[in-house]
């Protein structure tokens, strides 16, 4: 078990058996995260709990904040002070963080935010869900900004993407969201411990507020009043950055899409479940594949367009009443029919559910 191995001293090949939430903590600390602030909410409680255990061992800071609002603003400060930092929550708590996220995005401060989604709207329930897709991908907070949104579909990938998230955040100076769900957070499976290696050449943090010794005083702000066009200029710069990210960072997995007549589009845990349905369909002689975006923003549009050029039909499966499907239709310009299987409120599909749907629409 990893709890006894101090992160930062991981030997390659070491086996870990942790819950998703705990693995995320371990990967974050391994990647140099040294500040965490969060507030309890199911199904992500293991994140602050495990953080509170591990952070002191590496000289980092854990703060149980008085609210998610306070937590995200602590992250705003910790990032401005130069730390690799992270907060996590689940759906209602992520809603509370939105103002802070907008500020962080505007100030272009790097940080990682995990949303271990649960059922909504309102207090909802504590079952897994993917109903925060719009909030994560389309904004959530006010103003024109983008989060880099990563959707892991296994614990192995959760480990990788958690580490990579810190690199993306630093490289692009942008908040990164890990959009997980209660299933991923709560499940455990053996994973090879990955020692952290940066995947990008990281820029020097020339924005850090650590006292102006030997340099001009720095300001981090998001108010742009003067000259009158200052905010337009700021927005244009942000948009340019988002264009760069969109051109450089589109991650997508294709499973047996080459000859597929029907392609399932799904992300995160739903995609993992859908893989089982693909196998069942293939065994039944149906040419079915899967396309799985790993980055939800930027959305891997060209990969979807390519699939729409070869397949006859798409089937979107998601744990919501239909959010991700809008991006699929946009990306494929509705060139082929898009079928849907999904429901909000804590529903999740089984491979059998999906296979049944495939059987019903395959020949239609």
Partner 1 sequence: MEFKKPTSLLDVPTHYCPGCGHGIVQRLVGEVIDELGIREKTIGTAPVGCAVLLYDYFDCDIIECSHGRSPAVATGIKRVLPDRVVFTYQGDGDLAAIGTAETIHVANRGENITIIFVNNAIYGMTGGQMAPTTITGQRTTTTQEGRGQNQEGPPLKVCELLASLDGVTYLERVAVSTPKDIMRAKKAVKKAFQNQIDEKGFSLVEVLSMCPTDWKVSSTAAVDFVNNEMKEVFPLGVFKDEK
| Whole-number Å distance between alpha carbons of 301 and 287 | 22
| Whole-number Å distance between alpha carbons of 3 and 224 | 46
Q: Which is nearer to partner 1, 175 or 182 (CB)?
A: 175
Who's near 237: CB < 8 A, 6+ residues apart? none
Q: Which is nearer to partner 1, 41 or 317 (CB)?
A: 41
| Whole-number Å distance between alpha carbons of 197 and 241 | 24
| Interface stretch with partner 1, choices 3-11, 68-76, 119-127, 255-263 (CB under 8 A) | 68-76
Task: Quickly tell me which residue has 């959530």 as its tokens.
Answer: 140
Q: Which is nearer to partner 1, 51 or 266 (CB)?
A: 51
Figure out which of the listed residues 58, 126, 209, 343 binds partner 1, where binding follows CB under 8 A: 209
> Cβ of residue 94: shortest distance to partner 1, in angstroms?
16
State the burial class of residue 95 (Cβ atoms within 10 Å of its Cβ: 0-12, 13-18, 19+): middle
Q: Does 19 bind partner 1 (CB under 8 A)?
A: no
| Whole-number Å distance between alpha carbons of 194 and 24 | 12
Q: Nearest 5°: phi and psi at 168?
A: -60, -45
How many CB atoms sit inside 10 A of residue 16's CB? 23
**Residues of span 37-56 touching partner 1 by CB under 8 A:** 37
Figure out which of the listed residues 14, 42, 77, 345 binds partner 1, where binding follows CB under 8 A: 77
How would you label 152-163 residue by residue, b for 16+ Cβ within 10 Å and e otherwise?
Answer: bbbbbbbbbbbb
**Residues of span 93-122 touching partner 1 by CB under 8 A:** 99-100, 103
Figure out which of the listed residues 61, 125, 186, 335 binds partner 1, where binding follows CB under 8 A: 61
Q: Does 75 bind partner 1 (CB under 8 A)?
A: yes
Q: Nearest 5°: phi and psi at 54?
A: -85, -35
Figure out which of the listed residues 221, 227, 228, 247 binds partner 1, where binding follows CB under 8 A: 221
Q: Which is nearer to partner 1, 76 or 324 (CB)?
A: 76
Residue 82 is inside which H or E element, if any? none
| Whole-number Å distance between alpha carbons of 177 and 134 | 13
Q: Which is nearer to partner 1, 37 or 280 (CB)?
A: 37
Who's near 56: CB < 8 A, 6+ residues apart? 62
State the burial class of residue 147 (Cβ atoms within 10 Å of its Cβ: 0-12, 13-18, 19+): buried
| Interface stretch with partner 1, choices 153-161, 219-227, 255-263, 341-349 (CB under 8 A) | 219-227
| Interface stretch with partner 1, choices 44-52, 204-212, 227-235, 297-305 (CB under 8 A) | 204-212
Q: Does 227 bind partner 1 (CB under 8 A)?
A: no
Figure out which of the listed residues 71, 136, 161, 358 binds partner 1, where binding follows CB under 8 A: 71
Q: Does 35 bind partner 1 (CB under 8 A)?
A: yes
Question: Total residues at the site for partner 1 (CB under 8 A)?
Answer: 39
Figure out which of the listed residues 23, 25, 27, 65 binds partner 1, where binding follows CB under 8 A: 65
Q: Which is nearer to partner 1, 221 or 364 (CB)?
A: 221
Q: Which residue ranges make up the site for partner 1 (CB under 8 A)?
A: 34-35, 37, 61, 63, 65-67, 69-71, 73-83, 85, 99-100, 103, 209-214, 217-223
């Amino acid at each position: 078990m990893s709890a006894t191995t101090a992160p930062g001293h991981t030997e390659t090949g070491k086996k870990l058996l942790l819950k998703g939430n705990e693995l995320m903590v371990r990967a974050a600390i391994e990647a140099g995260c040294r500040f965490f602030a969060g507030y309890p909410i199911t199904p992500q409680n293991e994140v602050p709990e495990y953080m509170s255990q591990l952070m002191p061992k590496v000289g980092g800071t854990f703060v149980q904040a008085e609210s998610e609002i306070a937590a995200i603003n602590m992250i705003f400060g910790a990032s401005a002070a130069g730390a690799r930092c992270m907060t996590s929550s689940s759906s209602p708590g992520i809603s509370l963080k939105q103002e802070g996220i907008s500020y962080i995005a505007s100030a272009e401060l790097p940080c990682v935010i995990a949303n271990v989604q649960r059922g909504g709207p309102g207090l909802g329930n504590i079952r897994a869900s993917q109903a925060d897709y719009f909030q994560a991908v389309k904004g959530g907070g006010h103003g024109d900004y983008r989060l880099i949104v990563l959707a892991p579909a296994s614990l192995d990938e959760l480990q990788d993407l958690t580490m990579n998230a810190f690199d993306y955040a630093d490289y692009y100076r942008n908040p990164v969201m890990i959009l997980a769900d209660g299933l991923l957070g709560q499940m455990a499976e053996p994973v090879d411990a990955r020692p952290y290696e940066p995947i990008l050449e990281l820029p020097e943090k020339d924005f850090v507020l650590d006292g102006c010794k030997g340099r001009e005083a720095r300001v981090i702000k998001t108010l742009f009043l003067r000259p009158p066009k200052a905010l337009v200029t700021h927005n244009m710069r942000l948009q340019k950055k988002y264009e760069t990210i969109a051109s450089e960072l589109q991650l997508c997995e294709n499973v047996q899409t080459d000859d597929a007549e029907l392609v399932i589009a799904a992300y995160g845990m739903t995609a993992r479940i859908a893989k089982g349905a693909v196998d069942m369909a293939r065994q039944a002689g149906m040419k079915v594949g899967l396309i799985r975006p790993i980055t939800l923003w930027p959305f891997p549009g060209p990969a979807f367009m390519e699939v729409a050029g070869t397949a006859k039909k798409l089937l979107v499966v998601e744990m919501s009443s239909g959010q991700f499907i809008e991006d699929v239709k946009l990306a494929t310009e509705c060139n082929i029919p898009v079928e849907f299987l999904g429901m909000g409120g804590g529903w999740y599909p089984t491979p059998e559910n999906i296979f049944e749907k495939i059987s019903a629409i395959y020949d239609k």
